[in-house]
Amino acid sequence: MQEEILRLIELQNLDLEILKIEKAVQEIPQSLQKAQKEKDQLFNKIEHFKNLIEEKTKQKNLFEEELKQEYQRLKSTQARLVQIRGTREYQLLLREIEEIKKANKQKEEEILKLMEEIEKLEQEKRKLEEEFAKVEEIFNQEKQKFDDYCNQLNQEKAKLIEQRISLSKKIPARLLKKYELLRERKGGIGIAPVDNYVCEGCHMAIPPQLYNEIQRDNRYYECPHCKRLIFFKKFYLPEEPSEPALEEKDASSAS
């Protein structure tokens, strides 16, 4: 029974190491998160400028097409002048030509204004794209570091899993099944030590009689609170002797 408990404890330690690796792989480093956030923000800004440029370019193209049509109308209207005989009609046609020219001039100014706005937006976009390229390089470097780190962890995990498979074969199937069920239901911990009447799995005090039995039998029991397998800590996990104090060492060497 003692050998089975020792193997279960070893299995639990392996499982905790595997769980630790799995959590580490899922935790994205702050430096990578920061680079990703900056990258996303810059990307959204660039997209915003692209949309503005596209809208203003469409407006400019529309104005240019309208201006082209107005130039044609102006040309046709001016050609009619030579055909007019009456003074009144001639004056009306001259007024119409002036209105077309005035409207065309206004349209030309609007087109120039749009061209200036587009150029400014293009400049801002280029600055953002340069900044984005720098941030993306930092992001790629940080991601490569994290990927390398994860690959290393996964290699360690693969070794631990091999050890786990080998160790599991040495544990009775019934006991292993019970442990596995508890581990799945209890946050990765299926067996826990008891010390000073307290189950270290749920941190609840167990009855004195059960505590006495655990010390006497040196076998596993079940915690009445969390239902985990429990064992007497001081028997299976004895504390390592502490290093003697410096004064004691000096005294012993002096004697």
For the chain, 255 residues long, the average pLDDT of each consecutive 10-residue run is: 91 96 91 93 97 97 93 86 81 88 93 96 97 96 95 97 97 95 96 96 96 85 96 84 46 40
40-46: long-range contacts, CB 8 A cutoff, minimum separation 24? 42/128, 42/131, 42/132, 42/135, 43/132, 45/128, 46/125, 46/128, 46/129, 46/132
- Please give the pLDDT value at position 110: 95
What SS3 class is residue 198? Answer: strand
Distance CA 142, CA 31 (A): 7
Residues 127 and 217 in one domain: no
CATH number at residue 93: 1.10.287.1490
* Tokens found for residue 173: 């199937």
48-56: long-range contacts, CB 8 A cutoff, minimum separation 24? 49/121, 49/124, 49/125, 49/128, 50/125, 52/121, 53/118, 53/121, 53/122, 53/125, 56/114, 56/117, 56/118, 56/121
Query: How many structural domains does the chain have?
Result: 2
- Please give the pLDDT value at position 241: 53
Could you tell me how far CA 110 lies from the centroid of its own chain?
46
Residues 116 and 188 in one domain: no
* Residue-range definition of the domain harbouring residue 242: 172-255
What SS3 class is residue 240? Answer: coil
- Please give the pLDDT value at position 64: 95
Q: Among 166, 191, 208, where does a domain finish?
A: 166
- Please give the pLDDT value at position 240: 58
Q: Among 166, 200, 221, where does a domain finish?
A: 166
Q: Among 166, 195, 218, where does a domain finish?
A: 166
Has residue 89 been placed in a domain?
yes
- Please give the pLDDT value at position 80: 83
Distance CA 161, CA 18 (A): 8
